[in-house]
Amino acid sequence: MPPTASIHGQWTTRLAFILAATGSAVGLGNIWRFPYIAGENGGGAFVLVYLGCILLIGLPVMIAEIMLGRRGRQSPINTMTSLSREEGVSTGWASIGWIGVVTGFLILSFYSVVAGWALSYIFKSGAGGFVGLDASGSEAMFDGMLASPEALLAWHTIFMVMVGIVVARGVQSGLEKAVTILMPLLFVMLLVMVGYAVVQGNFAEGLAFMLAPDFSELSANAVLLAMGQAFFTLSLGMGAIMIYGSYLQSDASIPRTAGVVVGADTLVAIVAGLAIFPIVLGAGLSPGEGPGLIFVTLPLAFGEMPGGLIFGTVFFILLSFAAWTSAISIAEPAVAWLVETVGMTRVAATTVLAIAAWTLGIAALLSLNVWSDYTLFDMGVLDFLDYLTANILLPLGGFLIAVFAGWRMTRGSVSAELAMRSPALFGLWYFLVRFVAPVAILLVFLRAVELI
């Protein structure tokens, strides 16, 4: 029998959970990753497939993941073991938790490197580095940063320490409050950027690029990337949302809560796109620029707009903050497991995980410069880690979560935990989680490896 409360604590209110889960979801995935992946894959059609994945796979899997966490009330590994026992099925389903821990470790390593870019840009902006910048100057600034292993290492280290400090102290204290203030502020800053893009950028073309679908541009691999992005941006498939769910009160409505988180996350991604593409196209840059897209584009806007020095600095502070609240959730499942099962203190568990991810992060950051010739499947270490986790491991985790909730638990258990008032909505979710999500994930996988 799973415990009735988590030993790690509980969110004080349903709102606290919403903020924490939104803090987890909204991060580099929305503002850095979404625009550059959408840009590389032709825009409109990609965005439409992404939105479809959010609605038909992301939302039902998020409901399932929170539900499993709240019912198990432990780290994902132990939650899945207890729930399997409770349902009388193989405890091999604990592999959902194991895969999640490994995936989280891999994500944390490169996420911290990219978050380091955002930290570094706070100071570039603050020192007036964006003033009078043109497109090629902005590209040179970004490339210059990537060319310096020392600088990348310093920022990566600082970010990992920031993550470690919060995780070691426990998720609730401090973070809950910070998220309340900083997330809305980030959203307002994005709206300021959209305002700038409307006035100064090529808004019509940017809008068309992002929203007008051209399906001839859409490869099978792009569909895989859109699905991977949906998992990555919603923090799904590795137990981060599951463990946040394990700290949620029993009487909070899971579907409504998940709806708010998914809605907020999607809104931020779309608004980020609306801010970025008009500026990219207005400045004659390519939307297919790659991972440097926002770091090359936004400084152009900040360099020109009145008050840009302050806006730019504040923007990158907020972006770093968004990355911080996300990275914490990536670490939490592994740390909770080390505390529960290995018997480590939170501080020791956090230290072990942070050092391991920091070390792998060094390989990721070296792949941007001195190791740029070494590739796996044509990708450097950083790109490979990103591709493997977002497009393969997270959807795999999501698939297993959907199958477990839809097919291994009894209908009675899931409906008791979700306690939805509308039988029709429950039926809809159950159908999505049993059939639509697993089949869609499977089809996208098979198509990507050209088996269908």
Q: Is 367 in the site for ligand TRP (CB under 6 A)?
A: no
* Cβ proximity to ligand TRP, 301 vs 330, nearer residue: 330
Q: Is 246 in the site for ligand TRP (CB under 6 A)?
A: no
C-alpha distance from residue 163 to each of 28, 36, 111 (Å): 15, 25, 11
* Cβ proximity to ligand TRP, 26 vs 281, nearer residue: 26
3-state secondary structure of 355: helix
Question: In sequence order, what DSSP letters do the residues of 19-39 get, joined into one string?
Answer: HHHHHHHSSHIIIIIHHHHHH
What string marks each residue from 101 to 120 as x (binds ligand TRP by CB under 6 A) or -?
------x-------------
Q: Is 28 in the site for ligand TRP (CB under 6 A)?
A: yes
CA torsion 112→114→115→120, rounded to 10°?
120
- What six digits make up the tokens of 157? 């280290």
Q: Do 35 and 375 contact (CB within 8 A), yes or no?
A: no
Please tell me the count of residues contacting ligand TRP according to CB under 6 A: 16
What string marks each residue from 390 to 429 as x (binds ligand TRP by CB under 6 A) or -?
----x-----------------------------------
Q: Binding residue for ligand TRP (CB under 6 A) from 238, 331, 385, 437?
A: 238
Q: Do 396 and 439 contact (CB within 8 A), yes or no?
A: no
- What six digits make up the tokens of 64? 């399932």
For residues 56 and 241, give the distance between their C-alpha atoms in angstroms, rounded to a whole number: 18
What string marks each residue from 193 to 232 as x (binds ligand TRP by CB under 6 A) or -?
---------------------------------------x
Q: Is 235 in the site for ligand TRP (CB under 6 A)?
A: yes
Q: Binding residue for ligand TRP (CB under 6 A) from 18, 25, 275, 448?
A: 25
Cβ neighbourhood burial of 143 (10 Å; 0-12, 13-18, 19+): middle
Q: Is 163 in the site for ligand TRP (CB under 6 A)?
A: no
For residues 363 and 288, give the distance between their C-alpha atoms in angstroms, rounded to a whole number: 25
For residues 443 and 446, give the distance between their C-alpha atoms in angstroms, rounded to a whole number: 5
* Cβ proximity to ligand TRP, 64 vs 330, nearer residue: 330
Q: Binding residue for ligand TRP (CB under 6 A) from 29, 35, 206, 292?
A: 29
Residue closest to ligand TRP, measured at CB: 29
Q: Binding residue for ligand TRP (CB under 6 A) from 30, 125, 257, 313?
A: 30
Supply the Cα-derived Rg of the chain in whole angstroms.
21
Q: What angle do CA 281, 288, 29 make, to 5 degrees?
A: 100
Q: Is 233 in the site for ligand TRP (CB under 6 A)?
A: yes
- Provide the minimum distance between the beta carbon of 29 and ligand TRP in the complex, in angstroms, as a whole number: 2
- Provide the minimum distance between the beta carbon of 278 and ligand TRP in the complex, in angstroms, as a whole number: 22
Handedness of CA 69, 61, 237, 37 (dihedral sign): negative
- Provide the minimum distance between the beta carbon of 237 and ligand TRP in the complex, in angstroms, as a whole number: 6
Q: Binding residue for ligand TRP (CB under 6 A) from 112, 125, 313, 326?
A: 326
* Cβ proximity to ligand TRP, 81 vs 233, nearer residue: 233
* Cβ proximity to ligand TRP, 235 vs 257, nearer residue: 235
Residue 54 neighbours by CB under 8 Å, 6+ apart: 230, 234, 262, 266
Name the residues that contact ligand TRP, by CB under 6 A: 24-25, 27-30, 107, 232-233, 235, 238, 240, 326, 329-330, 394
